[in-house]
Structure 1
């Protein structure tokens, strides 16, 4: 496994008010929105952490979706991410992550389900993965979902607040990125399929709580970001079998101010392509491909829960060269997606879902 030995620089964040763009409210008062996808007719589906799913049409009319799986609304747990199959127009499969009580132990753990939408009801529901064992901890479910160019399904499960046991143990769920086929099967070339005792769905390990995931539109690589402790939020490029070091390595410290990590980088472990200190509490990310934002194409947008803004990340190859702050105080950003109309949509916990529109539109 090749380590990244070059130091990762922290770039000063410059305030950018995005002259030439305005914000439009698509829908307000939607609780804690977590995932957004669009149906072929242009309607938007939004998952809310409280366990509700909404269908929103072009006029902003909201319809409740029935048949949503039972979720354990437990602090950070609930109905979480939402993604559509790359060939949704052919097969109609939707994918969702949520905190499920099913299985061994008290409490809940992250589950991945696929289902179809018949009118306003989820049908044909199939659980593809259920992490074990359950825990009463309400932290670090992870739960972001993305597909790669070959149609493989990636998802994150956080360390569930048990950093000393889960992230560095391949026999345990938690603190990992997972990879399955779209039907929930383990690919034969997953890195740990032949390792005795290892969870075969694991693709990478040593993660804390990844709540952002996106495929790079040119390379096809899967990028994630994950929450650090006090400081040390990371952006990582995911590689098969790679160990990202948590909690052995970290740029952060304990919330109480004490140090715990052995180092920041080390040979044999993957270093982040970027990190934030102080933490921004990142949530949601998307690469920009739309012609509506020509000066941003190919770059990355990340949401901040803590500071209630977006972060523009200038990307060159597999590195982040600089960051800039966009649209301060728009609310606790939970996710950001590029819609089929080419606009950027931002889901916030305070101000609903917002669309970024060029002034001339």
Structure 2
């Protein structure tokens, strides 16, 4: 198999056979001429059903995740919703992480619950806890690793074994790791989900999602559901994501370099109560992460010693770290999950600590990022 960067640049992206163009074209056409009734050219008839630019992106994403099939969506939540509606029906049960992304929790708790789907939050770093939560109605085990925003680590291979024994599908949200750092299908997962808005796109200029699987029947069901609901990315969004993914490997190396140095600085600062980063040896998931990840990622969370007010003050006082939601772009971002990305978990079992700060460490000069954070923390006195 070719190396990761080679696949990122070339998979599905051969030069145009007519013009020789080395960059994928943006196919803006909404419809396609047919050679007689039902006689499509290459399977294209209407761009909700299929679009050549989207096809190229899907082929590339499948190659990067070592999968046979990928489907690109208009957003990560669009991908998540479509997948869960294919895998679940009223009366089914899903296990989710006890620290899941707020948007995923909101979809399951507020939308799918009205459809008759039940869920149980579980600390998925504990395989026995998962085993105890499994019911006869359990059809999906949904995990994130690392989790958003507490950076928890789950053993994908171990979870896959439990899910398989229960006749359930293991879905891994691989957004934080990206396919460069982790390939869940190779570890036994049935499905991988991404918000391609994040590291895959990498430039904070496109919203998208993706599902990757080796299951032929599931891929066909996803295509039918996607075409039926219309949760598709536009051709320019697909092209932007393709442009971003070409540099994923080099970006992730820099994200990891910077995150490691930021985490080390935070661990030694008196205003920081706790640093959550799987690259630190004292992180409870460090050994599992080292086993299943290439490196430890660009996301760092920490808890301030001064409580909620101190966390809010740090978020307001940085200069290079921009106060904003989302993550995975080349620029560094800072946020307060309790009032921003994870507000939907307030009052639930998934509520995050109010002194928690989440960082998406970008690819700027590490020394500048460290000084920016140190200066913001020093203001806490």
TM class by smaller structure: under 0.3
User: Normalising by the residue count of structure 1, what TM-score does the alignment of the two structures yield?
Assistant: 0.25
User: Normalising by the residue count of structure 2, what TM-score does the alignment of the two structures yield?
Assistant: 0.24
Name the structure with the higher strand share: 1
Structure showing greater radius of gyration is 2
Name the structure with the higher helix share: 2
